[in-house]
Amino acid sequence: MSKVSTFSAPKGVPDYVPPQSAEFVAVRDGLTRAARLAGYGHIELPIFEDTGLFARGVGESTDVVTKEMYTFADRGERSVTLRPEGTAGVMRAVIEHGLDRGQLPVKLSYAGPFFRYERPQAGRYRQLQQVGVEAIGIDDPALDAEVIAIADAGFRGLGLDGFRLEITSLGDDTCRPQYRELLQQFLFGLPLDDETRRRAEINPLRVLDDKRREVREMTADAPLMLDHLSDSAKAHFDEVLGHLDALGVPYVINPRMVRGLDYYTKTTFEFVHDGLGAQSGIGGGGRYDGLMEQLGGQPLSGIGFGLGVDRTILALAAEGKSAATPARCEVYGVPMGDAAKSALVPLAHKLRGAGLRVDLAYGGRGLKGAMKAADKSGAVVALVLGDRELESGEIVVKDLRNGEQQTVPLADAVERVGEVVARD
């Protein structure tokens, strides 16, 4: 009989399994919590959308659209794409559900997987996990600073401190057309290859983001947007920096920054961590003042970010830190016999109802093996119940941190266990 072949996850698509999955959950939830504290409501987005949404919203000259999207025809021969980023989908939902017709700004946050076909690297996957926020409908430098401060607080709340915020302005309609023309004049004077020249014709800023050494050397003296801001765009940027100073959020101005998506205008930022090597980004975002109108909605502004959960996990590891608690439960039940198990199962249920994380030794393990399992679980309390305790209506409560144990009435177990768990 031939052996049945086993399956493995697709290349670049990670599994998150215990105990490492505890770190993933802690980082994702920690980054999301910072947004909740600032009044951002949750939005759950479709995993796939109409391909045109991303082609129009993300930008047809971007690597995301031209090289990295998972696009396919569904059974109705409609072209759909697994979402490569979150902002375009959020804007579509805001327009479709009329959220922009209510109180502004619309403040939303989301978390989940996104998909890009790129070469898998440490912390960079084809199924990548992000936490994002979007604040839509108000053009206010103070809102820009709030969004940036949420990301900063999210990282710091996890214990991360070896990162830096890089920030710039990409201008707006009052200065970008003139700068675009100036940059194209410079680029068209260089010996660019055909593909790079086409990129310069569609969106010349993309060329400044080229990672090839020869292109970077050629563009080292290219004119920079930050040096050609209009008075209004410069005033906006200066106000953002002033608010960040007031909030105590440190930053470094990076005039050569170019984000990977076409919709960014004015405030643009990235969080980087040097402990991750060349691929140092752990999150970033910016303002996108024309995107809603471009997708068929009102001419409203917006600003947001996407933070990489996997990259943040690596950054914490680079600093020798962890956001997760290793314990998968607080209380571990050790029944000695079937009758004890029948009594411990409902007791465990009551303890869970009281908000405690509880597990049991299933499968008829002996005392020694069950206590080893209790230690491995990370529990702080073991509950030992045998025939003798059952006859007297009692249970042994053992503090695994110091070895102290007490025998208490079964009727009082929930209260007494809670007290022991709560001890420092």
pLDDT of residue 111: 97
CA 256 – CA 251 distance, rounded (Å) = 15
pLDDT tens readout for residues 302-336:
999 999 999 999 999 999 999 998 788 999 999 99
CA 251 – CA 245 distance, rounded (Å) = 9
CA torsion, points 10, 20, 320, 358, in degrees to nearest 10? 170
Say if CB 272 and CB 282 are below 8 A apart. Answer: yes
For domain 331-422, say whether CATH 1.10.10.370 is its number. no
Average pLDDT over every residue of 288-300: 91
Q: Is the pLDDT of residue 260 over 60?
A: no
| Sign (positive or negative) of CA dihedral 261, 263, 264, 269 | negative
Say if CB 290 and CB 263 are below 8 A apart. Answer: yes
Backbone angles phi, psi at 416, to 5 degrees: -70, -40
150: closest CA among 113, 89, 114, 109?
109
Q: Is the pLDDT of residue 278 over 80?
A: no
Largest CA distance in the chain: 93
pLDDT tens readout for residues 123-164:
789 999 999 999 999 999 999 999 999 999 999 999 999 999
Q: 21-175+229-318 adopts what CATH topology?
A: BirA Bifunctional Protein; domain 2 (3.30.930)
Residue burial 399-412, b: 16+ Cβ < 10 Å; e: rest: ebeeeeeeebebee
Please provide the DSSP assignment of 297-335 as one string: S-S--EEEEEEEHHHHHHHHHHTT--SS-S-S-SEEEEE
The pTM of this model reads: 0.89
Same topology between domain 21-175+229-318 and domain 331-422: no
**Domains of the chain, residue spans:** 21-175+229-318, 331-422
Q: Is the pLDDT of residue 420 over 90?
A: yes
The answer to whether the bond into 18 is cis (omega within 30° of 0) is no
Say if CB 337 and CB 301 are below 8 A apart. Answer: no
Q: Is the pLDDT of residue 19 over 70?
A: yes
pLDDT of residue 292: 92
- How close are the terminal C-alpha atoms of the chain, in Å? 59
Average pLDDT, the chain: 92
pLDDT of residue 203: 81
CA 275 – CA 279 distance, rounded (Å) = 10
CA 421 – CA 361 distance, rounded (Å) = 19
106: closest CA among 31, 32, 41, 35?
41
- Out of 108-117, 175-184, 209-218, pick the least confident: 209-218
What residues does 115 pair with on adjacent strands? 127
- Alpha-carbon distances of 37 from 32, 163, 215, 279, 376, rounded to whole Å: 9, 22, 43, 30, 35
Backbone angles phi, psi at 398, to 5 degrees: -110, 125
| Sheet (strand 302-308) strand order | 41-42, 106-115, 127-136, 302-308, 281-287, 265-273, 163-169, 252-253
Token pair 């830096």 in the structure block, residue:
164
pLDDT of residue 2: 63
pLDDT of residue 55: 87
pLDDT of residue 120: 83
pLDDT tens readout for residues 188-200:
999 999 888 988 8
Q: Is the pLDDT of residue 119 over 90?
A: no
CA 64 – CA 61 distance, rounded (Å) = 8
pLDDT tens readout for residues 217-232:
999 999 999 999 999 9
Structure tokens at 335: 């029944």
